[in-house]
Amino acid sequence: MGLAVAERSVLVVIDLQGKLVEKVHRAPLVLAATRRLLRIAELFRVPVVVTEQYPRGLGATHPGILEVFDALTVPHRRFEKTAFGCLAEPGFEQLLAELRPGVPAARRQLVVAGIEAHVCVMQTVLEALGAGQEVHVCWEAVSGRGAEYREWALARMQQAGAAITNHESVAFEWAQHKDHAAFKALSALLKEGQLAGEA
């Protein structure tokens, strides 16, 4: 697994919905890290998908996430699903291809945030790895209903070949160099303070 490359990446935010997100381990950290990831994707022109698992039953995406998502100028889409793994849902692979035209699936990188770690996140990650795509899972933006669910899901994803990373590592890999046009804005963003729930 190599470095994250902005020109090959899609940020996939999985099922951060109202009724679900309230129940996960360290929810404030997950939400804060994901909001920051969305802003970083904007800086580096990385397209974004926000998925929603059966929103009629589980509710819409958390308003704090939607606030940042709706303000994006990079290509961004909401995707409703009933399959647990995103790639098992008809149309999801086509959506990724549309967001990254000219990047073959085998060259595409998914940067992943969301819940729940041991269900929809893990199934999506394993499906993507099985399809030959690279996956970078941001540990602080992924959770489940308990610490052990999250811990062992991250371990299984890593064993399967995913890179377990964090939003700052992804950001600096997308930048590659201090002379990147977005680096000053990135530095300012990262200086905004400790993420909620990090302590």
Give me the active site residues, please. 15, 81, 120
Distance CA 150, CA 122 (A): 10
Provide DSSP, 8-66. Answer: GEEEEEE--BHHHHTTSTTHHHHHHHHHHHHHHHHHTT--EEEEEESHHHH-SBPHHHH
Q: Compute the CA torsion angle 111, 1, 173, 163 (nearest 10 deg).
A: 50
Integer distance in angstroms from the first to the last C-alpha of the chain? 30
